[in-house]
Amino acid sequence: MTALNPFYAFCFATASLFLPVIALGQLAPSAAAKFQQGTSSLEQGNLDLAAQDFESVIHESPRFAEAYFNLGLVREQQGDFNAAVNTLHHALTLKPSLRGANLFLGIAEYRLNQYDAAITALHAEIKINATDPKAWMWLGVAELAAEKPEEAVVALDKAARLAPDDVDILYHRGHAHMLVSQASYEHMLRVNPGSWRVHQVLAQAAAQSDRDMDAIAEYQVAIKGAPGQPGLHEELATEYWKSGKLDEAEAEYTQELTIDPHSLLATYKLGSLRVDRGKPQEGKPLIEAALKQNQNLPNAYYYLGRAEMLLGNDPAAIDDFKRAVTAPTTEPDIAQQTYYQLSQIYRRQHKPANPKRHRIISCGSNRKRTNISSSSLRENVRLRRPNPRMTNTTEVARLKSNCQLTLMILRRC
State the average pLDDT over residues 108-119. Answer: 97
Asked if 134 and 103 count as a contact pair (C-beta separation under 8 A), the reply is yes
pTM for this prediction: 0.67
At 220 the pLDDT is 97
Average per-residue pLDDT for the chain: 84
Q: Which pairs with CB-CB distance under 8 Å and at least 24 residues apart come from 346-353?
A: 348/314, 349/314
Asked if 207 and 215 count as a contact pair (C-beta separation under 8 A), the reply is yes
Asked if 108 and 78 count as a contact pair (C-beta separation under 8 A), the reply is no
SS3 label, residue 362: helix
The pLDDT of residue 236 is above 70: yes
pLDDT tens for each residue of 137-194: 999 999 999 999 999 999 999 999 999 999 999 999 999 999 999 899 999 989 998 9
State the average pLDDT over residues 392-402. Answer: 40
The pLDDT of residue 389 is above 90: no
pLDDT tens for each residue of 26-59: 778 888 898 989 988 988 889 999 999 999 999 9
The pLDDT of residue 89 is above 60: yes
At 26 the pLDDT is 72
Asked if 72 and 53 count as a contact pair (C-beta separation under 8 A), the reply is no
At 16 the pLDDT is 46
Residue 77: closest CA among 146, 1, 147, 138: 1
Asked if 408 and 209 count as a contact pair (C-beta separation under 8 A), the reply is no
At 101 the pLDDT is 95
At 353 the pLDDT is 54
At 117 the pLDDT is 97
At 352 the pLDDT is 60
pLDDT tens for each residue of 117-140: 999 999 999 999 999 999 999 999
Asked if 97 and 128 count as a contact pair (C-beta separation under 8 A), the reply is yes
State the average pLDDT over residues 358-384. Answer: 39
Q: How far is CA 348 from CA 278, 318, 337, in A?
A: 20, 12, 17
- Please give the Cα distance from 13 to 77 (Å, whole number): 11
At 404 the pLDDT is 47
> Which of these ranges, 6-10, 134-138, 146-150, 233-237, has the smallest mean pLDDT?
6-10
Q: How many CB atoms lie within 10 A of CB 311?
A: 14
Residue 70: closest CA among 40, 97, 93, 96: 40
Q: Following DSSP, what letter does each residue of 281-322 receive, concatenated?
A: HHHHHHHHHHHHH-TT-TTHHHHHHHHHHHTT-HHHHHHHHH
pLDDT band (50, 70, 90) for residue 23: very low
Residue 378: closest CA among 248, 265, 211, 229: 211
Asked if 324 and 299 count as a contact pair (C-beta separation under 8 A), the reply is yes
The pLDDT of residue 223 is above 60: yes
Q: Which amino acid is at 120?
A: T
At 43 the pLDDT is 87
The pLDDT of residue 256 is above 90: yes
For 355, which DSSP code?
H
Residues with Cβ within 8 Å of 269's Cβ and at least 6 positions away in sequence, in order, are 234, 237, 238, 241, 253, 381
Using alpha carbons only, what angle is made at residue 87 by residues 82 and 93, rounded to the nearest 5 degrees? Answer: 130
Q: Following DSSP, what letter does each residue of 22-51 receive, concatenated?
A: --GGGS-HHHHHHHHHHHHHHHHT-HHHHH
Q: How many CB atoms lie within 10 A of CB 411?
A: 9
The pLDDT of residue 95 is above 50: yes
At 315 the pLDDT is 94
Asked if 199 and 222 count as a contact pair (C-beta separation under 8 A), the reply is yes
At 349 the pLDDT is 81
Q: How many CB atoms lie within 10 A of CB 389?
A: 8
State the average pLDDT over residues 277-293. Answer: 96
Q: Which pairs with CB-CB distance under 8 Å and at least 24 residues apart come from 220-229?
A: 221/196, 222/196, 222/197, 223/196, 224/196, 225/195, 225/196, 225/199, 226/196, 228/259, 229/196, 229/259
> Which of these ranges, 89-98, 112-121, 348-357, has the smallest mean pLDDT?
348-357
At 215 the pLDDT is 96
SS3 label, residue 382: coil
> Which of these ranges, 20-24, 374-378, 395-399, has the smallest mean pLDDT?
395-399
Environment class of residue 117 by beta-carbon count within 10 Å: exposed (0-12), middle (13-18) or buried (19+)? middle
More confident residue, 22 or 193: 193
**Ordered structural domains, the chain, with CATH:** 6-98 (1.25.40.10), 192-412 (1.25.40.10)
The pLDDT of residue 412 is above 80: no
